[in-house]
């Protein structure tokens, strides 16, 4: 089932008196339980698409539909609530809070996402997710003591702890070596399928494309294939 649609989306940035159109009528549909990878050279527009889809910036024209609702018609507070409750984010850097343990990172995310779970219920969910990402044995560790791969596993756990419907991954393996990259992508694929999440990923690494259900190639603000 299609859960997310990008419909004739354009984006124009103004630099002084010069307008630069970086997206030129993009159309993309995303289905539940599938990974769609955006690829293309730097400046092709793939990161701009990701941030517009995630509600981090607005399109100049066109529609962004999440579960049939037009996000382009929503105000900032409405979009913020969707981001907090329905979206998860994984970036190139894990962005873990240095003074919080692994368990506390996830507890903070549950509080921010306003899941309204009781403390005991939160604990159960945290234990379940940490086991899914094979980090339950490191729940009391601080980020400084974790490897790069472990940090990304925690970042993924934090991104899905509130059971989002969408996962946005921006170069999630760029800072990792080949083995850890494969481990992280295997995990993202397993979670996408197991939890029926819709994942939109930007990557430069062609080896990671084997984990995607769909590959969208972009060039100069257009979808090539």
* CATH code, 115: 3.40.50.300
Q: State the pLDDT at residue 145.
A: 97
Average pLDDT value for residue range 154-162: 94
Q: In which domain, by residue range, is 75 found?
A: 2-223
Compute how many other C-beta atoms are within 10 angstroms of the C-beta atom of residue 14.
Answer: 8
What pLDDT does residue 66 have? 97
Q: How far is CA 89 from the centre of its chain?
A: 4
Total domains present in the chain: 1
pLDDT band at 119 (very low <50, low <70, confident <90, very high): confident
| Cα gap 107→109, rounded to integer Å | 5
Tokens of 109: 């995310």
């Amino acid at each position: 089932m299609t859960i997310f649609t990008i419909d004739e989306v354009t984006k124009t940035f103004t630099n002084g008196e010069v307008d630069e159109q970086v997206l030129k009528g993009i159309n993309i549909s995303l289905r539940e339980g599938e990974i769609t990878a955006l690829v293309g050279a730097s400046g092709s527009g793939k990161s701009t698409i990701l941030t517009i889809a995630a509600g981090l910036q607005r399109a100049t024209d066109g529609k962004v539909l999440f579960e049939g609702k037009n996000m382009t018609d929503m105000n900032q507070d409405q979009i913020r609530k969707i981001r907090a409750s329905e979206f998860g984010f994984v970036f190139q850097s894990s962005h873990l809070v240095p003074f919080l343990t692994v368990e506390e990172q996830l507890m903070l995310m549950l509080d921010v996402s306003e899941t309204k779970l009781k403390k005991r219920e939160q604990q159960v969910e945290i234990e379940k997710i940490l086991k899914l990402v094979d980090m339950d044995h490191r729940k009391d560790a601080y980020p400084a003591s974790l490897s790069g791969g472990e940090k990304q596993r925690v970042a993924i756990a934090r991104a899905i702890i509130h059971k989002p419907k969408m996962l946005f991954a921006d170069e999630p393996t760029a800072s990792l070596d080949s083995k850890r990259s494969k481990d992280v992508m295997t995990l993202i694929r397993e979670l996408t399928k197991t939890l029926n999440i819709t994942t939109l990923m930007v990557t430069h690494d062609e080896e990671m494309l084997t984990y995607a259900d769909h590959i969208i190639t972009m060039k100069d603000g257009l979808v090539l294939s």
